[in-house]
A and B are shown apart, each in its own frame.
Chain A
Amino acid sequence: GAGVSQSPSNKVTEKGKDVELRCDPISGHTALYWYRQSLGQGLEFLIYFQGNSAPDKSGLPSDRFSAERTGGSVSTLTIQRTQQEDSAVYLCASSPITSSDTQYFGPGTRLTVL
């Protein structure tokens, strides 16, 4: 079946602009995660959604970052007033349920802030 999809694949923006990144999880997966991968760094957890529960936002680096998940499916990660240090690959993953289930990743969105 279809895997996790993300759009756009690449995004170039100017410092100070807002950006929206989209994630479409695997159908039927209730858990959705956002991670960030910076050059030379490991993947860094950002936020986690599980069903109708309140999201775990503990990994968001600042209040410029926010995310929504509508209808338990598609998610949007929004970065306001982008900074150069926000440049990274943003990866989305989904899994069927929590607690030890494997996460399946999308191809990522490469964000470049000029």
Chain B
Amino acid sequence: EDQVTQSPEALRLQEGESSSLNCSYTVSGLRGLFWYRQDPGKGPEFLFTLYSAGEEKEKERLKATLTKKESFLHITAPKPEDSATYLCAVGGLTGGGNKLTFGTGTQLKVEL
């Protein structure tokens, strides 16, 4: 059974204070690892897909990296508008289709 664990559960940063969110996973065969951002009362918003260990992707202040056991979402010089819950999910080879297994998320708060 695919499993995803995210840490920390909650993170409070000062504006400009860089940090990283962790996503540890076990999967029968990785088809993709996905990062989403979710604002209160809204659906998850797609950020990145990573397919193989060593892959990295960047978007503005966010950078996602992937190893065979975990992924990191690095946030450089965050701003208050980066405050949200960040969700990690994996798609595995078993189970068919492309259903995703999600972690419970990291709730990020960036303060002035």
Closest-CB distance, B64 to chain A (whole angstroms): 13
Contacting pair A31 B43 (CB below 8 A): no
Query: C-beta contact mask, A51-73 vs B, less than 8 Å → 1, else 0?
Result: 00000101100000000000000
Interface residues of A in 11-47 (CB under 8 A from B): 31, 33, 35, 40-45
Besides A98-B98, A102-B34, A103-B100, 17 new A-B residue pairs in contact (Cβ under 8 A), listed by A number: A42-B87, A42-B105, A43-B100, A43-B102, A48-B96, A48-B98, A56-B96, A58-B95, A99-B31, A99-B98, A100-B32, A100-B49, A100-B51, A105-B36, A105-B45, A105-B46, A107-B43
Q: Tell me the total A-B contact number using a CB cutoff of 8 A.
A: 69
Total number of A residues with any Cβ neighbor in B under 8 Å: 28
- Contact surface of B with A, Cβ cutoff 8 Å: 4, 31-32, 34, 36, 42-46, 49, 51, 87, 89, 91, 95-105
Contacting pair A103 B43 (CB below 8 A): no
